[in-house]
Each structure stands twice: as C-alpha cells, then as structure tokens.
Structure 1
Amino acid sequence: MIPLSRPLLFQTAVPAHPSHASGVRRMVTAHLNLWRLSELVDNAVLATAELFANAVRHASSNPRDVVTLTLECTDRELRVTVADSSPLQPRLRTPDAAAESGRGLSIVAALVDDWGTVPPDPGTTGKKVWFTLCVEGRG
C-alpha cells in the first residue's frame, strides 16, 4: 500500500433492517478493493456483517432507525465503526452448543486485531462498536 497523506474515509447511514445486510457487505467489499486492501476483505466484511446484524437485532426498535457505518484507513490500520441509537452495550456470551445465536462478538473477536465500544458523538444517543485490522506490512 502506498503511504497515505491523510486517512481514507467512507461513511454512510443504512436503514436498520436485515434486508440491507447484503448492501452493507457490498459497500465494504467495494471500498476495500478501491483502497487496494483486498487481503482484508473477507475478515472485514464478515466482522462488519456481524456488527450490523447485532445493531439491527438488538438496537433497532423503530422502522426509522439507522445504523451508521464508518470505514477509516490509515497507513497502519483499517477501522470499521458501526453506530446505532441503543445505549445497551454489546457483550460477549458463551452460548449453549445448540443455541442458534449468541456467537457474533466471538466471531468478530476471532477475526480482527482489536475491537471495542465507545460512547456516541456529543448530542446523540446510542453507542459505537468498532474493530481494527492491521494494514502495516500487508499488500
């Protein structure tokens, strides 16, 4: 990857509905390929899809709710942030072996270099869940 003079940034708001998950995956794929980070696509798309699904399932209660997706890339890392309007914090769970859900954050943790949550922007409600993937030494 060519050294960047400033971070690459993409941000969009997506309706908080499961029908938009495929569009989110396509957007992440397209931007990472445009930014010549194709080696990060698989892990970034899967981790983003998990965070989007969590936001839709656990944080969306109104048909007008949106999930904000931000991709930011520096010379060192790709940072993906998924923001929603719910103040409820995500938590890692250890689901029963037969459970059909509850593994999303474990999947994210296994795929990425780091992840966490931060408060919403001033004047807004909710939370931001983020993850990073190392760019340094790749490409």
Structure 2
Amino acid sequence: MNVQYPIAGLRGARAVSLVRSGRETGGLPSRDARVPVCRTRDFQMAAVVPARADAVAGARRQLAGLLQSAGLSECADAVTLVAQELMVNAMVYGCGNRPEGRFSMRATHGRGRVRVEVEDPSTEQPHARPAATDEEGGRGLHLVDALVTRWGTSRSAPGRAGKTVWFELDLLAGEVTS
C-alpha cells in the first residue's frame, strides 16, 4: 500500500511517499507529477547511547545528519522521529530510566530501505496500549506502526540479555538511485 503523509520541518510541510510491505500498489503519482528524487548513498551507523535525554537527542541529531548527507532528506524527519521513539522507550523501559544504563542504536541504508535497530538490556517486549485522551504517553508504538513499512522485535544475540526493537522504511524506486 502506498502511503503519503505530511512532514513538517524547518523547510515547511511536504509529502513523502513510502511503500508499505515492499509492494507498490495503485495510487502512485503519474509520470508527469513532480516527485522528489533523492541521490542516495548507502550507509551504516552504530552507536552506544547512555540512557539520558541529552544523549538520545545527540543520537537523533547524528542520525538526521547522516540521512541528510546520504541524500535521504525526504525521509529524514520520519526516520529520526521513529528512531527517537524507540530510543526513548529503550531509555525509560529498557534501562529503567537509570542514567548509568546504556543501549545501542544501529542504522543502515541499502537497496532502497532504511533500517534502524535499538537494542536494550530488558527482555520485556514492547506493546501498544490504548491511551486515554488526557494521557501524555501511550501513543508511541501507534506512531511507529503508522510511519514505517514494518517493525518488530527480536532477542539479543546469544549470551546477551535483552531485545532489539527495529523498523524498516522502504523508499519508492523513484526516490532511490543507489
């Protein structure tokens, strides 16, 4: 299913097209429509992030800069927003909001797909819950589900406690030239 959603950023609002479930379906812009084309480069990034709000903000800025320099500015806002949600969840739930806690974040781009993984020491699986209208929290995983192509969890590597929460974002073929 092709999904378009507005992204508000410093340069104003714009629409970004994504391919859900790896299949292009009807509703794609015509050839005459002005579709942004990214000149992209593949990349890999890995960081160990202290479980502190300032460190999460720094990791988000680092990821945003990498996406911009790789030519993926059209999806940078969505990727960094979802990555921040997973990092905050790792800080609060995975590390128990202990400043001495640490989690890791990895991001890759290749073959028209951006993948971000956040690994924390907790084995507790994330779960979406309904949020009351007056609650501040409880909407993050719904946001993740709405903005990415697919997401999930996996156990950490053998011999390590914890889990990895990941997401992937498939980019339209016209937006990827790598």
Shorter-chain TM-score above 0.5: yes
Q: Supply the AA of the counterpart residue of 2:145.
A: A
Q: Does 1:15 align with 2:50?
A: yes
Whole-Å Cα distance in 2 between the matches of residues 2 and 29 of structure 1?
A: 16
Q: Is the 1:25–1:45 Cα contact (8 Å) retained in structure 2?
A: yes
Q: Which residue is equivalent to 1:88?
A: 124
- Structure 2: gaps spanning 5 or more residues: 1-37
Kindly provide the CA deviation profile for residues 27-61 of structure 1, in whole angstroms up to 9, marking residues without a partner as x: 11011112111111010010011111111111113
Q: Deviations over 1:57-77 (max 9, x none)?
A: 111134332110100111121
Which residue among 35, 57, 76 is the counterpart of 2:112?
76
In the alignment, structure 1 residue 113 sits paired with structure 2 residue 149: yes
- Are residues 1:25 and 2:66 paired? no
**Largest Rg, 1 or 2:** 2
RMSD: 1.7
The secondary structure found in structure 2 opposite 1:67 is strand
The answer (yes or no) to whether the contact 1:112–1:132 under 8 Å persists in 2 is: yes
Match of 1:132 among 146, 149, 168: 168
Structure 1 residue ranges (4+ consecutive) displaced by more than 2 angstroms after TM superposition: 1-4, 61-64
Instruction: Give the number of the structure whose residues are more often helix, by fraction.
Output: 1
Counterpart of 2:116 in 1: which secondary structure? Answer: strand
Unaligned stretches of 5+ residues in structure 1: none
CA distance in 1, matches of 2:106, 2:75: 16
Please give the TM-score of this superposition, normalised by the length of structure 1.
0.90
Q: Supply the distance in 1 between the matched residues of 2:53 and 2:92 (Cα, whole angstroms).
A: 8
Secondary structure of the residue that 2:56 maps to in structure 1?
helix
CA displacement at 1:19 relative to structure 2: 2.2
Give percent identity, aligned residues only.
33
Q: How many residues align?
A: 137
